[in-house]
Amino acid sequence: MLEELFTPSVQHWLDLIGIFVFAISGALMAVRKNWDVFGIAALAEATALGGGLFRDLVIGAVPPAAFTDLGYFITPLFAAALVFFLHPEVERTQTAVNIFDAAGLGLFCVTGTTKAYDYGLGLTASAALGLATAVGGGVARDIIANEVPSLVRWDRDLYAVPAMVGAAIVVLCIRFDALTGVTSGIAVVVAFVLRLLAMRYHWRAPRAWNRRSTAVEVTEETP
């Protein structure tokens, strides 16, 4: 089904673009943590490939694409080198990086869901794995960097919800035999726009009703 929506060449380049922007975010966190060049490269790789690697292992697509396509492995290293030498300039383009990251989120939630369905998973499981593909790299990045994953922090703009919406649109289209290049593109755009709106207006998920916790709220460290 995935091959019917995108040609292999287009799919490959879309994957590489998503991998690149996710790797940038991982490398930037490593720089903020004052890690060395190996740490920067490792965190870039984990952020870029974590979600897709998890997906492929779950559905049995082994060896995972990250280990069979050299471009998948080299692209995060290129992003890491870019950040290593030019991180002040990359920091100044953080808004652009966030926009590309949102685009990668939208793309990966759709392709992840579709690939999972191609490998025989049901609709609900496919949507869940599409979500994992989109956000898994960010979770891996935060855990390796000893941070509370942004995915579960109340003080971060919505990230998982846009991916969930995009994956849900895909499985609904599959259910009603309406998944085409156009409808899959709509799912990508919806997830992308929701993420941009969340960043623009600081939309956040609600916390527990009548919360009375005395726990100290986590705040982001000053670089």
User: How big is the CA angle at 138 (ends 137 and 142), to the nearest 5 degrees?
Assistant: 120
106-152 per-position pLDDT tens digit: 989 998 999 999 999 999 999 999 999 999 999 999 999 999 998 88
pLDDT at 154: 85
Is 131:29 a contact under the CB 8 Å cutoff?
no
Nearest residue to 103 (alpha-carbon basis) of 186, 188, 23:
188
3-48 per-position pLDDT tens digit: 666 667 777 887 888 899 889 989 988 998 999 999 999 999 999 9
pLDDT at 5: 64
Neighbours of 67 (CB within 10 A): 13
Cα gap 124→167, rounded to integer Å: 9
Provide, rounded to the nearest whole percent, the portion of the chain with pLDDT above 90.
64
Is 129:138 a contact under the CB 8 Å cutoff?
no
pLDDT at 208: 82
Cα gap 157→198, rounded to integer Å: 6
Indicate the pLDDT class of residue 60, thresholds 50, 70 and 90: very high
Q: What is the pTM of this model?
A: 0.86
Nearest residue to 129 (alpha-carbon basis) of 194, 18, 22, 54:
54
